[in-house]
Amino acid sequence: MVVVLIILALAIFVLPNIWAKWVLKRHTRGRDDYPGTGAELADHLLRRLGIDGASVERTEYGDHYDPETRCVRLSSDNYDGRSLTAVTVAAHEVGHAIQHYQGYAPLIARSRMVGVAQKAEKLGAVLMMAAPFLFLLTRLPGGLAIVIAMAVISFGTAAVVHLVTLPVEFDASFNRALPLLKEYVPPSDMAGARHVLTACAFTYVAASLASVMNLGRWLVILRR
């Protein structure tokens, strides 16, 4: 039973990330027939769509859109790359900029919750490590259960954020980026673009499942 659970956990947490990296790498070959790099496409789309105040920057911390600075940030490979992966990732991050510009509610909710969730998750981890010591110090009836409950709430906050992230990512990929890419990418490359967007989405699905399973694990501990 334990072996089955370990295999299941590996399948949920590891395989989606391995597959995503494989798909992204598969489409990183430079394309001379593409009119521009990922950064150039992102900048063009932002100007074409009239998203004033938004910008494009290079980053060393992974591709993302920052709602606070209204900045599309791309890794060096995707910023300078003239490949299917580069332009697809760039279009996806522009999709988030479009969401922000149009006031897409799930994105706004996620942005507000991310800071709280990060602090809550750290607090939960600290509480779980400190729980036996806190119980020994307080010696109050039910003290350990209270601490574990607080940790579960902390992990639960992170799980909610991950779940809210899913519709945000799928919308940015398939409702925003994909229609735009059809205007810039040859029809023969659209299947590859869908693969890239799907691969990226699966990494968020895996993260969400991991967060929910972690919450479930501590709920079981609490019931004991």
Closest C-alpha to 96, from 114, 84, 76, 117: 114
* pLDDT tens digits along 129-144: 766 665 565 565 566 6
Give the number of domains in the chain.
1
Residues 6+ apart with CB under 8 A from 69: 55
* DSSP three-state, residue 71: strand
Residues 6+ apart with CB under 8 A from 190: 181, 182
Closest C-alpha to 78, from 114, 37, 117, 48: 37
Average pLDDT over residues 161-182: 90
Q: Which residues of 106-118 are buried (b: 16+ CB within 10 A; e: fewer)?
A: bbeebbebeeebe
Residue count of the chain: 224
Higher pLDDT: 112 or 42? It is 42
Catalytic residue flag (residue 93) = yes
Q: Where does the chain show beta strands of DSSP type E?
A: 55-59, 64-66, 71-75
Residue 72 has pLDDT above 90, yes or no: yes
Q: What is the mean pLDDT of the chain?
A: 82
Average pLDDT over residues 79-104: 96
Distance in angstroms (rounded) separating the CA atoms of residues 174 and 158: 25
* pLDDT tens digits along 190-213: 999 999 998 877 777 666 666 666
Residue 108 has pLDDT above 80, yes or no: yes
Q: Give residue 111's pLDDT.
A: 84
CB contact at 8 A, 155 and 208: no
In the structure, what pLDDT confidence band is assigned to residue 44 with cuts at 50, 70 and 90?
very high
Query: Residue 115: which domain range?
Result: 1-223
Among 40, 93, 121, 169, which one carries the catalytic annotation?
93
Residue 8 has pLDDT above 90, yes or no: no
Distance in angstroms (rounded) separating the CA atoms of residues 84 and 90: 10
In the structure, what pLDDT confidence band is assigned to residue 1 with cuts at 50, 70 and 90?
low
* DSSP three-state, residue 66: strand
